[in-house]
Amino acid sequence: MKIEQIELRRIALPYVAPFETSGWRELASHALLVRVEADGIVGWGESPVGTGPWYNEETSSTAWVMAQEHLAPMLLAAELTRPEDVAAVYARVRGNRMACAGFEFAVWDLFGRATGQSLRAMLGGQRERVEVGVSVGVQPDLDTLLRVVGDYVAAGYQRVKLKIKPGWDLEPTRLVRETWPDLRLQVDANSIYTLDHAAHLAKLDAYDLLLIEQPLAHDDILDHAKLQRIVQTPICLDESIVSPDHARWALELRACGVINIKPSRVGGLHAARQIHDMAAAAGVPVWCGGMLETGIGRAANVALASLPNFTLPGDISASARYFARDIVTNPFVLNADSTLTVPDRPGTGADIDVDFLDQVTVEKVVLRGTVAG
C-alpha cells in the first residue's frame, strides 16, 4: 500500500476544566491530527502534543513543522505492507516520537478499515472492556479536591490518580484515603522530586497506593532504581520510558514495579506492544496512560489497553471527563463497572464529526504523493 494523500490539522478544543499538574496547566487540546488516504480508504491519527515542552520536548508548533517538512514526505514515499512498517520509515528520526506516533496511528486505522479488522484484533487484544480510572489535577484547596474526587466516585470511577507536588502530597493523599478507604488510589508527581526526597516519599507507603508515578527526573532510570529500594509502594515509570530499549534498561535495573505505556510517548502502537510483551515476560504489570486525547487518540489507547498485561486501570477516562463536545460522533462513555467498551469495528472505530472538527481546526494543510507514470 502507498499513501496517496496526507491531511494535517492543528486544533484548539477546550477542556471542560483546566488540567493542572506539578509543572504545567492546560486549558485545551492543541493536538496535531493526521488523516491518511490510500485506495479511497481513510485513516485518522492523533499526536497529543501540548503548547509547551513541559511533558516532553515536543510542542504543537514543533510537531506541526516536523509533520510537514519531514514525517509526511517520508510516509508518502514509503511502500507499506503492514502498519508495523511505519516504525522502519521513521527509524532515522531522533526524538519527535509523539509527532511520529500520530502518523503511525493513522496507518493502523487505515489498514484496519482496509481489511475489515478492528484495532483490538490487529494488536492481539483480548478484552471487550478495559478498566479505567480518572486523573485529578492539583486543586486550589483540600475542600475542592474532596468535592472533585467525590464527583468522580459518584460517577462510577473506581480508581483515582492524584497529581502531587511538594507541599501538595501527603495531606491530600491522606484525606482522600481516609474519605474513601477502599478506593483504588495512586499518585503522580510528573518528575518534580529528587532522590533527596526519598524519606518523604516513603511516607506515602502508609496510604495503600497502587503506585507512585514518575517521582524523579523525566529522563532518569538509575535514581528510580535507588528509590524503589527505599519505598515499598511500587514505583511506576512514565516519562522515562520512551522506547522498548528504555523499558529493557528499567526492567534490568529493577527501577520500577509498574510501567505506564502511553503509545504516543513511545512513538506508536508497535513500540507500545513491544514494551507490553517485554514487561509481561518480566512479570511487571503495565497500564495505559493518556494525554487528554480526543476520541481519535482515545480509541487507539482503549484498543491497546485490551492486551492481557494491562492489569491496572488506565488513564483513558470517558470523553465527557475532558470535553463538552468531542470531535467524534461516538465518544466513549463510562460503563457502570468503571470500564470503557473496546470498539470492535474496523480500524479504531472512531467516527469523525467533520463539521465540528472544522470549527475547532486552527490550521490545515494537505500533502500529496507523487503519481507514478
Catalytic residue annotation: 163, 262
d(CA 115, CA 121): 11
What would the grid cell of residue 206 be? Answer: 502508609
By the 8 A CB rule, do 257 and 232 touch?
A: no
d(CA 141, CA 160): 17
Residues pairing with 361 in the sheet: 11
If you search the block for the grid coordinates 483515582, which residue do you land on? 160
